[in-house]
Amino acid sequence: MRLTEKNWLLILVIVGLILLGILFPLNHLDLKSGPIRNRSYSWLNYEAADGGPENQCDCAAILQGDSEALQKAKTLTITKDFQKSIKIPNEYYISASQDCKTFKANRKYVTFPLSRVEEDFPLAYSVVVHHKVQNFERLLRAIYAPQNIYCIHVDQKSDASVYSAISAITSCFPNVFMVSQRVDVVYAAWSRVQADINCMADLYNATTKWKYFINLCGQDFPLKTNLEIVNALLSLGGDNSMESEKMSENKRNRVTHVHKIVNGQNQPTGNLKGPPPSNLPILTGSAYIVVNRGYVRSVLEDNRIPALIEWAKDTFVPDELFWATIQRLPGVPGSKRPHPKYDMTDMNAIVRLVKWQEHEGEVYPECHGHHVRSVCVYGFGDVQWLLQQHHLFANKFDTEIDPIAVYCLEKYLRKKALAQLF
């Protein structure tokens, strides 16, 4: 059959389109020059993603502090139907994650780097969890990026269904793994530190690519997108960020008396402790830190640390002194000298925002949720204030009581993250 000029033209057009498809596929993201501008990623937005009753709320109005939207959300949360329907059983996650491709698509995980800056600056996370799988999974998808790496520590005494559900979720991601050595975490005791150290070791040995380490717990949630977190860490110029201050007198008994685990609680024995090794200045701070890879190497390899570990093991709340003290050791990458001029409060550090009940009305506004151990468990009325702060993460959230706060943060952060693609 003889081809006409019209046939040849049609063939050339088809071949041209095929070649364009090879050279510039629709799903390709050019990380050097930026994304394809006309591609829509609206399928990654959280619009009614979970199908829960919280999607009835007007998050945009809540973020603006609109009184009518806040009142409507308050009315919704106190209904019995709402409280019944917001709790997702652990078995759901075990079942849903059997088909990983569908699970990741339905849960709207971002499976490609959103920018070259983020791809070139991978982060390492340790997440310590003991319950509330629903909280954990929503935290994971909020912070998940394929270039990052995540170590998950589930408390050794957690319910089997909690461990099974979280293990099933992590199995869907090549860069998310369960810690190699679990411990029985006791509140205010050394085991809380050990859980993070075990994850630190696993993360450090897993890859040399990540730049900064961030430790979280299952009831934390981000206040910034991954790009904003990366830019904040780049601005540190290699420094670490954490609370690290001179220990106040009302906390001195934490380190002057020997403590011991009795009936699952870290209690004082009445025996006096000896001075810290080499008379190191002991600082106080937070259990949560943002540190560079060199700091982690020091924790694992510096010959001064084993003696500090042994000394700290029988103190009270050692997680609030261990990291802060290492941060002021000479020679530790990103550290500061142990001089009062370098003291940093939790409000100045960038890692984590906590509303302590005793400071409400003075340092920050009142809690719009409820309190656990004098810490505010945020409600939807706190979200507007939270997003005005410079911290990367906030604690605490509980999606089994008030999922609206997390839902509105999810929608806001995802929309902001996707906006950088256009």
Provide the residue type at 261 as one letter. Answer: I
| Residues 252 and 314 grouped into a single domain | yes
| Residues 255 and 326 grouped into a single domain | yes
Q: Does a structural domain hold residue 108?
A: no
Neighbouring-strand partners of residue 261 = 266
Q: Determine contact, residues 142/413, Cβ cutoff 8 Å.
A: yes
Q: SS3 for 99?
A: coil
Which pLDDT band holds residue 171 (cuts at 50, 70, 90)? very high
Give CA–CA dist 140/14, Å, rounded: 43
| pLDDT number for residue 98 | 97
Q: Does a structural domain hold residue 71?
A: yes
Give CA–CA dist 339/419, Å, rounded: 43
| Residues 399 and 417 grouped into a single domain | yes
Place of tokens 């009581």: 401
User: Sign of torsion, CA 243 249 255 258?
Assistant: negative
Exposure string over 167-195, b if 16+ CB within 10 A, otherwise e = bbbbebbebbbbbeebbebeebbbbbbbb
> pLDDT tens for residues 276-303?
999 999 999 999 999 999 999 999 999 9
Torsion of CA 296, 299, 301, 307, to 10 degrees: 180
Which pLDDT band holds residue 180 (cuts at 50, 70, 90)? very high
Q: SS3 for 178?
A: strand
DSSP state of 408: H
How would you classify the pairing of strands 257-262 and 265-272?
A: antiparallel
Question: Cα angle vertex 212, ends 210, 213, to 5°?
Answer: 105
| Residues 270 and 314 grouped into a single domain | yes
Q: What is the mean pLDDT of residues 182-197?
A: 98
Q: What is the mean pLDDT of residues 378-387?
A: 98
Q: Determine contact, residues 19/13, Cβ cutoff 8 Å.
A: no
**Domain-terminating residue out of 275, 308, 340:** 340
User: Sign of torsion, CA 127 132 133 138?
Assistant: negative
**Domain-terminating residue out of 292, 313, 340:** 340
pLDDT for residue 34 is more than 80: no
| Residues 249 and 328 grouped into a single domain | yes
| pLDDT number for residue 52 | 76
**Rg value, the chain, Cα:** 24
Give CA–CA dist 250/227, Å, rounded: 40
Q: Does a structural domain hold residue 398?
A: yes
| Residues 361 and 312 grouped into a single domain | no
What are the residue numbers of the active site? 320
| Residues 272 and 358 grouped into a single domain | no
Q: Determine contact, residues 132/155, Cβ cutoff 8 Å.
A: no
| pLDDT number for residue 237 | 97
Q: Does a structural domain hold residue 191?
A: no
- Determine the structural domain holding residue 399 and report its residue range: 39-86+350-422
Give the chain's domain count: 2
Q: Determine contact, residues 181/197, Cβ cutoff 8 Å.
A: no
User: Sign of torsion, CA 74 78 80 82?
Assistant: positive
> pLDDT tens for residues 49-85?
556 788 889 999 999 999 999 999 999 999 988 988 8
